[in-house]
Amino acid sequence: MNIILGITGSIAAYKAADIANSLTKQGHSVFAVMTDAAQKFITPLTLQTLTKNPVYTDMFAAEKPEEVAHIALAQKADLVLVAPASADFIAKAAAGIADDMLTTVMLPLKRETPVIICPAMNTFMYDNPVTQRNLAVLAGLGYRIVEPREALLACGVTGRGALADIDAILAACAEAADKA
């Protein structure tokens, strides 16, 4: 299965390495797509080493000049997993904004491609009515939302907003793969 692993700007971005490694060990081809903010937390080289695939960071980079990268990547995706998904990404995806490689890959996906969103952010950001509305929009489009955990967050607040346990994320991927 070809899995696009979207990684956004959240302190939980470091957990994407474990997710990528686990999915790769399960036999999936994992293609990481990182936002600029994600690259402040974890490097593309880490994900490239774990997945043995190129990591996509720039929608204008032409690795294969004969193809349009965001279209080709979207069309070969059997599953899209965004973990962690920041409030910024969730808002852009809900509005259909395509201003970086990850949000640009989201628009040309085949309608039957399962999309799993794993929010990770400060509890006040997560509970904000705008974020909740954006998550409801994505759920209405058929995206599966893997709810965050309650924990002591990086900001020092205890609340809901920590990235779901990796086992829960992997289980959501397996369930989506079984339905596909």
CB-based contacts of 175, cutoff 8 Å, min separation 6: none
C-alpha 87, offset from chain centre: 12
Cα(175)–Cα(180) distance, rounded to whole angstroms? 9
**Strands, E, within 8-131: which ranges?**
29-34, 79-85, 115-119
Given the residues 68, 155, 166, 177, select the one marked as catalytic. 155
Q: Which contiguous run of DSSP H or E holds residue 6?
A: strand 2-7
- Torsions phi, psi for 60 (to 5 deg): -105, -5
Alpha helices in 35-128 (DSSP H): 44-51, 69-76, 87-95, 101-106, 123-127
Residue 155 designated active-site: yes
What residues act catalytically? 155
